[in-house]
Amino acid sequence: MKLYSTLLIFVCVLVISCKEAKKIDETKINKEKESVELSNNTPKISSNEVDTSNMVHFDGGTIKIGSETGGVNEKPVFEMEIAPFYLDKNLVTVAEFREFVLEANYVTEADKFGDSGVYSFEQGNWSLMPGANWEYPLGRDKPKAIDNHPVTHVSWNDAKAYAGWKGKRLPTEFEWEFAAKNGENSINKYAWGNEPVINGKYMANVWQGDNIQDSEAKDGFLLTSPVGTFGASKSGLYDMGGNVWQWCENYHKPYPFNDKLAPQDPNVRSTRGGSFMFDEALENSYTTTFRAQNSKDTSLFNMGFRCAK
């Protein structure tokens, strides 16, 4: 069952990469609170032990969520009150995740299933690569993941488990958008401005080309890049666009008063930020408002996360 369900995700959502999300009617999304669950019963650190020195604190406030010029799942724009929160400056790295795996004796879902989603540029297709996991992102016969790169091949459940182990949690997609907009009602398209390339310099690790066959790495990276390579946003966050998709805490639902989409799948969660890999939305996938989705047990070579508190 896992093989068929995951392949459907690849064909219908991931390769075409995050089409318009399935949704249900919801008019009070800003009042909804979801519990922070731990996967695999990993130990949780007391909140007063949490080191926030590598996190950015946001005071919260009222912000406009969504975009009237974006996809149907980004509409309509609505106001939401965001409570104060912290967000990691960086994506969780391979080295940080290794510490978790070793200390908590954690087994990822990719390791349980025995495979994970990889796109082969040589073969030109997506597949469930046997043995691919957080340590071997391209399979066991390829080099290990680099310590200072973002960890990949982690499911939502894996990301939740890591966050709980750190005494943190995953951000909601609304907190993520608030942070990407630098805590203000910015009209900028991206966390850094309005163009993916400024003065000839790429501002994020993004895909170049109009289709999945184009694999030219003009930004210097075909796959993931070291976290923080492309500089910080105004608020001090790195990789708030490109590099890897980022898991969010909440179910993927339609925005208030959006009745144009199908009911949600309760096993699907929101992802934000885009990645190094081709997406049907092209440069729009890196915007502050673009919404994507995936099933909780899916793991891919272009999906990671950061933590909130």
**What is the pLDDT, as a whole number, of residue 209?**
86
**What is the pLDDT, as a whole number, of residue 93?**
98
Distance CA 39, CA 305 (A): 15
Q: Is 309 buried (19+), middle (13-18) or exposed (0-12) by CB count in 10 A? A: middle
**Cis, bond preceding 196 (omega within 30 deg of 0):** no
Residue 182 lies in a domain: yes
**Cis, bond preceding 76 (omega within 30 deg of 0):** yes
**What is the pLDDT, as a whole number, of residue 204?**
97
Angle at the Cα of 186 (from 183 to 190), degrees rounded to 5?
A: 95
Q: Is the pLDDT of residue 37 over 80?
A: no
**What is the pLDDT, as a whole number, of residue 115?**
98
Of 131-135, 137-141, 211-215, 298-302, the one with minimum mean pLDDT is 211-215
The token pair at 225 is: 């890049």
Residue 214 lies in a domain: yes
Residue 309 lies in a domain: no
**What is the pLDDT, as a whole number, of residue 48?**
52
* Structural domain that includes position 71: 2-304
The token pair at 226 is: 């070291």
Greatest alpha-carbon pair distance for the chain in Å reads 49
Angle at the Cα of 301 (from 5 to 202), degrees rounded to 5?
A: 130
Beta carbons of 158 and 151 less than 8 angstroms apart = no
Tell me the pLDDT band of 172, cut-offs 50, 70 and 90.
very high
Residue 31 phi/psi, 5-degree rounding, is -105, 0
**What is the pLDDT, as a whole number, of residue 255?**
92
Q: Is the pLDDT of residue 19 over 80?
A: no
Q: Is the pLDDT of residue 72 over 60?
A: yes
pTM: 0.85
- Residue range 165-190: mean pLDDT, rounded: 97
Q: Is 298 buried (19+), middle (13-18) or exposed (0-12) by CB count in 10 A? A: buried
Highest mean pLDDT among 3-7, 8-12, 279-283: 279-283
Which CATH number does the domain housing residue 56 bear? 3.90.1580.10
**What is the pLDDT, as a whole number, of residue 213?**
83
**What is the pLDDT, as a whole number, of residue 178?**
98
Of 16-30, 74-88, 162-176, 262-276, the one with minimum mean pLDDT is 16-30
Q: What is the mean pLDDT of the chain?
A: 87
Angle at the Cα of 260 (from 254 to 266), degrees rounded to 5?
A: 40
Q: How far is CA 167 from the centre of its chain?
A: 20
Give Cα separations from 45 to 48, 94, 136, 165, 183 (angstroms): 8, 20, 28, 6, 28
**What is the pLDDT, as a whole number, of residue 20?**
39
Distance CA 85, CA 217 (A): 35
- Residue range 50-71: mean pLDDT, rounded: 96
**What is the pLDDT, as a whole number, of residue 25?**
38
Among candidate residues 217, 247, 85, the one with its CA nearest the CA of residue 152: 247
Residue 166 lies in a domain: yes
**What is the pLDDT, as a whole number, of residue 127?**
96
Q: Is the pLDDT of residue 280 over 60?
A: yes
Tell me the three state secondary structure of residue 229. coil
The token pair at 186 is: 């910015």
DSSP 8-state code for residue 172: P
- The residue with tokens 């708030």 is 240
Tell me the three state secondary structure of residue 272. strand
What is the per-residue pLDDT across 232-253, written as a single tens digit (0 to 9) for each?
Answer: 999 999 999 999 999 999 999 9
**What is the pLDDT, as a whole number, of residue 260?**
76
Q: Is 4 buried (19+), middle (13-18) or exposed (0-12) by CB count in 10 A? A: exposed
Residue 186 lies in a domain: yes
Q: How far is CA 20 from the centre of its chain?
A: 16
**What is the pLDDT, as a whole number, of residue 11?**
37
**What is the pLDDT, as a whole number, of residue 122?**
87
Domain count, the chain: 1
Residue 212 lies in a domain: yes
**What is the pLDDT, as a whole number, of residue 246?**
98
